[in-house]
């Protein structure tokens, strides 16, 4: 039941984004496995370029492994996060599916308009966008405030310049130790 519902939702969103079908058509019948503990799911590309939730399979054409924190970074559009995803098997399939899933957009305003009408759907959509924007700004402000507090008032986080100074001092100490080892080696030879 749950897999059928997810399959219908995926195909509805892909229908709203016809470009996604053209990207997925070359991979007809192939399956991608997502492993994000504790969740494991598999998607199969359909003949029409749609997606369906696959049953548990022993062999997937591509496997994608990522942690929950990495998935959140991907959702936040962190450019460095993609390089930390582990892909096995058909990497072209996995990358194409990742591009589709990252760039696909759900036109929820269109879906709401079918139920509530155009004006109400537009008002709900505008309210949701404004609320999400405000929530994001509040989270960013709180994170900046907490970081400043933990750096200045109750130091739990090191400042970037302090870390850079420490790294520079460690490098200098390493170089000094190497020079001392060479001197000691010369003295032992004599």
Pairing outcome for strands 62-65 and 31-36: parallel
Cβ atoms of 111 and 82 within 8 Å: the answer is no
The residues with which 86 forms a beta bridge, in sequence order, are: 65
Total domain count for the chain?
3
User: pTM, whole model, 2 decimals?
Assistant: 0.57
Q: Are residues 125 and 94 in the same domain?
A: no
Cβ atoms of 77 and 67 within 8 Å: the answer is no
Decide which of 150 and 31 is more confident. 31
What confidence tier does 162 reach under pLDDT thresholds 50, 70, 90?
confident
Q: Are residues 126 and 151 in the same domain?
A: yes
Asked if residue 148 has pLDDT above 90, the reply is no
- Please give the pLDDT value at position 176: 93
Q: Are residues 163 and 142 in the same domain?
A: no
pLDDT digits (tens, 9 = 90+) for 70-110: 777 777 777 777 778 888 888 888 888 888 887 888 887 88
Placement of tokens 């405000």 in the chain: 134
Q: Are residues 20 and 89 in the same domain?
A: yes
Q: Are residues 22 and 91 in the same domain?
A: yes
What confidence tier does 58 reach under pLDDT thresholds 50, 70, 90?
low
Q: Are residues 76 and 53 in the same domain?
A: yes
Gap between the Cα atoms of 13 and 91, Å rounded: 24
What's the rounded mean pLDDT across residues 20-48? 85
Q: Are residues 83 and 37 in the same domain?
A: yes
What's the rounded mean pLDDT across residues 54-70? 79
What's the rounded mean pLDDT across residues 47-76? 79
Mean pLDDT (the chain) is 83
Asked if residue 2 has pLDDT above 80, the reply is no
Asked if residue 127 has pLDDT above 60, the reply is yes
| Structural domain of 136 | 107-157
Q: Are residues 16 and 81 in the same domain?
A: yes
What confidence tier does 180 reach under pLDDT thresholds 50, 70, 90?
very high
- Report the alpha-carbon angle 88-94-97, nearest 5: 160
Share of the chain above pLDDT 70, in %: 96
């Amino acid at each position: 039941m749950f897999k059928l519902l997810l399959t219908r939702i995926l195909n509805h969103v892909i229908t709203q984004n016809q470009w996604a079908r053209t990207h997925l058509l070359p991979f007809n019948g192939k399956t991608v496995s997502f492993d994000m503990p504790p969740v494991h799911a598999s998607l199969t590309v359909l003949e029409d370029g749609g997606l369906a939730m696959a049953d548990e399979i022993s062999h997937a054409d591509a496997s994608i492994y990522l942690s929950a924190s990495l998935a959140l970074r991907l959702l936040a559009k962190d450019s460095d996060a993609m390089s930390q995803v582990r892909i096995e098997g058909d990497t072209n399939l996995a990358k194409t599916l990742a591009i589709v899933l990252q760039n696909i957009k759900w036109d929820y305003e269109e879906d709401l308009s079918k139920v509530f009408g155009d004006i109400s759907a537009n008002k709900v959509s505008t309210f949701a966008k404004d609320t999400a924007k405000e929530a994001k700004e509040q989270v960013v402000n709180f994170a900046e405030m907490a970081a400043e507090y933990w750096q200045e008032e109750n130091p739990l986080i090191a400042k970037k310049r302090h870390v850079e100074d420490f790294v520079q001092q460690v490098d200098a100490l390493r170089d000094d130790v190497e020079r001392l080892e060479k001197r000691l080696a010369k003295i032992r030879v004599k």
